[in-house]
């Protein structure tokens, strides 16, 4: 997006940098007025507040950067003001916290708390007004584009409907060509005029020179040669786009990539976005984090091993085959929480299962030892999985690994969870764990897969600490 609208973003960043510096300058003036007035009333010597020069650089660079990271830049789309309020507010709050943190680290007496507070109160409405004002202005400067829709009318109408709330700047729909019998030429549907059948596409393009783009919604009945449309578009300098995928996919959006192989332009659909840098950072963080935690908790490992050994006969570590990345089996390690050989008693307890779906859970499982109940209460039995993370079989964050016998029973749409490495913690873990039923568990796993980011991983890790301490849903 930045590459396509680079001039917009450069100008936007410059304006936001000036706004940040201006808000700090105004906050300094107001803070000084209050500060000097209070000193004068007390009859004390007047010493003005001085905002350090380094702080202007921090807010000038920090405000545009944080607005971008919090997705407060939405051009060419035009969301409502209420939709910009939270990401803009979050960026300003983060900047205020950054300023306070740097002042503390640098032991700088300035700026005072009043100046920082005033800066936040000034910067927030200023940034919000800039966002809306900028979009209003650029909506009028962006070149106008007429778009012709061809093909599957249902997909075309859902495409239009999805743009209603955030209609891109400078776009209007010229009309729709479709072979659907229920859509008669000359009628209007959802405010879009049906101008004919698909077969007249060439005539329409040649006759109407104002058409800038064509969006094709293919279906099995569309009797038109896609290469012919692309070829005519090249001659007339009309951009041709092809809509692929389902309007409402059950398993989330696919992530297309483009590649030329031989003479053919290929579109590849990845189950997950190819973000090499982010995935590399995740892998490095996993290994480094696991190594650090193993060192940190090594005394606890020895204590837990001792308690398990004196609590009941059997090994300290229990391992089980689990379904991992792309359903490849691996050995997952846990501290043993059940009596030795408990896995062979499972078939006698199936009638007591409290979970729906293929998983097996019992709140008061008679196979769990006294020590094991304590370990499960605070998720301490999961600590040996740090070795799985070091080996590369697991991640710190990811969908929980299911036993092979349960994984093979997952439904078709649920198997998308296996497109990520399994993790020690996940959305299910921090949202109630065993208090959730199986469909809700799978929905949270797919929400993680479909919306993955490094920020989401860190958010889950932070929530894990409170989830572990509370023990909610752990048994």
* Tens digit of each residue's pLDDT (9 = 90 or more) over 442-459: 999 988 988 888 889 999
Q: Using CA of residue 292, residue 297, residue 301, residue 302, what is the dihedral sign? A: positive
Q: How far apart are CA 378 and CA 251, in angstroms?
A: 33
Q: How far apart are CA 261 and CA 158, in angstroms?
A: 32
* CATH class, 145-248 region: alpha beta
Going by C-alpha positions, the residue among 374, 286, 359 that lies closest to residue 322 is 359
CB atoms within 10 A of CB 237: 8
Answer whether 401's CB lies under 8 Å from 394's CB. Answer: yes
Domain with CATH 3.40.50.720 in the chain: 145-248
Q: Given this model, what pLDDT does residue 374 score?
A: 93
pLDDT in tens, 233-285: 888 888 888 887 665 555 555 666 777 777 777 777 666 656 677 888 999 99
Q: How far apart are CA 201 and CA 207, in angstroms?
A: 10
Measured CA distances, 19 to 60, 62, 131, 335, 415 (Å): 8, 11, 12, 55, 48
Strand partners, 330: 322
pLDDT in tens, 426-442: 999 888 887 888 889 99
């Amino acid at each position: 997006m930045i590459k396509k609208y680079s001039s917009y973003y450069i100008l936007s960043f410059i304006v936001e940098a000036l706004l940040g510096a201006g808000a700090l300058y105004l906050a300094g003036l107001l803070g000084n007025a209050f500060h000097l007035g209070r000193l004068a009333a007390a009859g004390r010597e007047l010493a003005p507040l001085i905002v350090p020069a380094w702080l202007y650089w921090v807010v000038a660079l920090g405000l545009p950067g944080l607005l971008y990271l919090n997705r407060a830049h939405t051009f060419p789309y035009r969301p409502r003001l209420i939709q910009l309020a939270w990401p803009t507010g979050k960026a300003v709050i983060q900047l205020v916290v950054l300023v306070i943190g740097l002042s503390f680290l640098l032991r700088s007496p300035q700026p005072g708390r009043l100046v920082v507070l005033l800066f936040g109160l000034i910067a927030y409405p200023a940034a919000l007004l800039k966002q809306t004002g900028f979009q209003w202005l650029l909506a009028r400067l962006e070149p106008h584009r007429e778009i012709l829709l061809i093909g599957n009318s249902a997909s075309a109408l859902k495409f239009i409907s999805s743009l209603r709330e955030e209609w891109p700047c400078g776009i209007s729909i010229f009309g729709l060509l479709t072979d659907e019998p229920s859509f008669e030429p000359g009628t209007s549907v959802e405010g879009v005029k049906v101008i004919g059948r698909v077969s007249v596409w060439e005539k329409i393009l040649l006759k109407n020179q104002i058409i800038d783009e064509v969006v094709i919604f293919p279906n099995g009945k569309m009797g038109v040669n896609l290469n012919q449309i692309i070829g005519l578009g090249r001659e007339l300098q009309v951009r041709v786009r092809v809509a692929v995928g389902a309007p409402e996919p059950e398993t989330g959006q696919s992530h297309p990539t483009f590649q030329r192989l031989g003479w053919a332009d290929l579109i590849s659909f990845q189950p997950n976005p190819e973000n090499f840098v982010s995935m590399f950072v995740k892998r490095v963080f996993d290994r480094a984090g696991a190594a650090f935690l193993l060192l940190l908790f090594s005394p606890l490992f020895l204590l837990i091993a001792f308690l398990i050994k004196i609590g009941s006969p059997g090994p300290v570590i229990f391992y089980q085959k689990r379904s991992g990345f792309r359903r490849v089996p691996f050995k997952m390690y846990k501290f043993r929480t059940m009596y030795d050989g408990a896995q062979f008693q499972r078939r006698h307890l199936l009638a007591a299962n409290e979970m729906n779906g293929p998983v097996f859970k019992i709140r008061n499982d008679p196979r769990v030892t006294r020590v094991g109940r304590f370990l499960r209460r605070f998720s301490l039995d999961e600590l040996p999985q740090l070795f799985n993370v070091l080996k590369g079989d697991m991640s710190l964050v990811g969908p929980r690994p299911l036993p092979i016998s349960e994984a093979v029973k997952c439904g078709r749409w649920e198997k998308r969870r296996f497109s990520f490495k399994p993790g020690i913690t996940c959305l299910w873990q921090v949202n109630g764990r065993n208090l959730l039923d199986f469909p809700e568990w799978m929905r949270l796993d797919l929400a993680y897969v479909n919306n993955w980011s490094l920020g989401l991983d860190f958010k889950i890790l932070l929530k894990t600490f409170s989830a572990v301490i509370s023990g909610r849903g752990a048994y």
